[in-house]
Amino acid sequence: MSNPEPHPLQSEFLSRLTSPVELLQLLDFLPEVYFFAKDASGRFMLMNEAELRLHGLTAVEQVIGKTDFDFHPRHLAEQYVREDRLVMDSGHPLPNQVWLVGDSTGQLGWFISSKTPLRGADGAVIGVAGVMRDFKRTESLLRPYQELERVLSYVLEHFAERLRIEDLAALVHLSVSQFDRKFKSLFRMTPQQYLLRVRINAASQALLHSDRTIAAIADETGFYDQSSFTKQFVRQTGMTPRKFRRQYAI
């Protein structure tokens, strides 16, 4: 997608604005839209009220200068930053990407995200801006995903149980192969990867906010045993559960 040159009349009008932030304040009247802007280093510079609430914040001053790593587990933050860099390096918008995003309590939800590069007066990219919409509030765009919504909700509610892919496929009346193909085409991950992410997220929250043993957390979040949990946790986050707790627990 190209970036058209602004119309001279438009440029003249925008140059007379005291601050573009005044326009962005309109986004606070759209509670279903989550808006943010970051500089080239990935530091948040702007957020609307909906995005602030998602992060458990009340004022934009609380977020300025912070990054995704201040709000999300490392394995998720790295993916968000990687996509930001793709948008900035390409210089082109990236619309309607499906993302699993955690709120301030660690609860995961599906969002549709669109990002665009931000340019300075000299035309160089100086950051990235994005908007997100909650899956459940975006009916027209979600029609292709609605068939699998029952599976998404079921996994979020039952991840601690011994879930089988065959049973998840049966929830939406698909064969395992059909289910796997459809899930991957829509969410860019396999059903197994989604289940693992949900479990890792739940385990991360337990490590940070409880003193339960690692073995107990492994059992409570659906892993076969502590060894299996540790192996998957290291693969997803780059550190052991013990190190994660020691480094990030309050």
Last residue of a domain, one of 114, 139, 164: 139
Position 68 in a domain? yes
Contact at 8 Å (CB) between 201 and 209?
Answer: no
All residues at 6 or more sequence positions from 180 whose CB lies less than 8 Å from its CB, including other chains? 165, 169, 190, 191
Spatial distance between the Cα atoms of 151 and 148, rounded to a whole number of angstroms: 5
Domain around 167: 147-248
Quote the number of domains for the chain.
2
Spatial distance between the Cα atoms of 17 and 168, rounded to a whole number of angstroms: 53
Residues 131 and 168 grouped into a single domain? no
Q: What's the pTM? A: 0.65
- Residue 19 has which token pair? 């601050």
Spatial distance between the Cα atoms of 77 and 75, rounded to a whole number of angstroms: 6
Residues 12 and 128 grouped into a single domain? yes
Residue carrying structure tokens 């900035």: 88
Number of H helices, E strands in the chain: 12, 5
- What is the pLDDT tens value at each position of the chain, 250 positions in all? 455 666 788 778 877 777 777 778 888 888 789 999 999 999 999 999 999 999 999 999 999 999 999 998 888 889 899 999 999 999 999 998 888 888 888 888 889 899 999 998 888 999 999 999 987 766 666 677 788 989 999 999 999 999 999 999 999 999 999 999 999 998 889 999 999 999 999 999 999 999 999 999 999 999 999 999 999 999 999 999 999 999 887 6
Residues 151 and 134 grouped into a single domain? no
